[in-house]
Amino acid sequence: MAMVVAREWREIPGRYNLEGTKCGCCGRIFFPSRAFCPDCRRESIGKMAPFRLSRKGEVYSFSVVHEASNINRRMMPYTVAFIRNDDGVMLAGQIVDIEPEKVCIGMKVHAVLRKLDEDGNAGIIHYAFKFVPDE
């Protein structure tokens, strides 16, 4: 039985290494990657370069997810957040290694590689960035 793997494999540069794009015209940084800059539009075509975003940032907002889902069944409830990274770009991901009650807006965090989910016991394991508190 063939498993479809390309979809998540394509996203590895972003998922593992926070690789986004930088506009060659205005210098604005995007995550996830964009083929052209919404500000510079046509001028930016062909001028968007890969850019590795800083793994450091701080919490802009967060929530603790209690709903049953197929991910994180062994880590309920779990914290999700919008993180403003040191490049000034907003990122979205989970915050782990800290009790949900201790998370607060402004808390400094950094991105690490963790297991996101897997395609069942026999399928591919998906890794992606999650955030842990700076200690």
Partner 1 sequence: MRDVAVIGVGSTKFGELWGESFRALGIEAGARAMKDANMGGDEIDAIYIGNMSAGRLINQQHIDALIADYTGMAADHVPATRVEAGGASGGVAFRQGVMAVASGMHNCVIVGGAEKMTDMDDVSINDVLNATADAEWEAGMGLTLPSLYAMISRRMISEGIATREEIAACAVNSHFHGAFNQDAQFQKAVSLDTVLRSGPVADPLSVFDCAPISDGASAVILCPLEEAKQHTDSYVKVAATMQASDTLALYQRPTITSFGATAAAAQRAYQAAHISAHDIDVAEIHDDFTVAGVMALQDLALFPKGEAGKAFLEGQTKFDAGRVAVNTSGGLKAKGYPVGAAGVSQIVELTDQLLGRAQGRQVKDAKYGLAQSVGGTGSAVTVTILEAI
Partner 2 sequence: METGIISYGAYVPRYRIKPEEIGRIWGVDGKAMGSGLMINQKSVPSPDEDVVTIATVAARDMLDRVPAVDSHKIGAVYVGSESHPYAVKPTATIVAEAIGATPNMTAADLEFACKAGTAGFQICLGLVGSGMVEYGVAIGADTSQGAPGDALEYSAAAGGAAYLFGSEHVIARVNKTLSFTTDTPDFWRREGQTYPVHGGRFTGEPAYFRHVTSAAKMMLDAMGTKPADYTYAIFHQPNGKFPTRVAKQLGFSNEQIACGLLTPEIGNTYSGAVPLGLAHVLDHAKAGDRIFVVSYGSGAGSDAFDLTVTDEMTRFQRDRAPVLDRILSYTVAIDYGTYAKFKGSIALPEE
- Residue numbers of the site for partner 2 (CB under 8 A)? 12, 16-17, 70, 72-75, 96-97, 112-116, 120, 125, 127, 130, 135
| Residue 66 burial by Cβ neighbours in a 10 Å radius (0-12, 13-18, 19+) | exposed
Report how far residue 62's alpha carbon sits from residue 102's, in angstroms, rounded to the nearest whole number: 11
User: Which partner, partner 2, partner 1, none, binds residue 17 by CB below 5 to 8 Å per kind?
Assistant: partner 2
Of 1 and 68, CB closest to partner 1: 68
Tell me, residue by residue from 100 to 129, as one string, x for binding to partner 1 by CB under 8 A and - for no binding. Answer: x----x----------x-----------x-
Residue in 90, 112, 113, 125 binding partner 1, rule: CB under 8 A? 90
Report how far residue 89's alpha carbon sits from residue 97's, in angstroms, rounded to the nearest whole number: 23
Q: Are 99 and 81 in contact (CB under 8 A)?
A: no
Residue in 22, 51, 78, 111 binding partner 1, rule: CB under 8 A? 78
Provide the 8-state DSSP code for 62: E
Of 51 and 62, CB closest to partner 1: 62
CA angle 82, 79, 104 (to 5 degrees): 65
Report how far residue 119's alpha carbon sits from residue 96's, in angstroms, rounded to the nearest whole number: 21
Q: For the chain, what's the residue count?
A: 135
Number of residues that bind partner 1 (CB under 8 A): 30
- Footprint of partner 1 on this chain (CB under 8 A)? 11, 14, 32, 60-72, 77-78, 80-82, 90-94, 100, 105, 116, 128
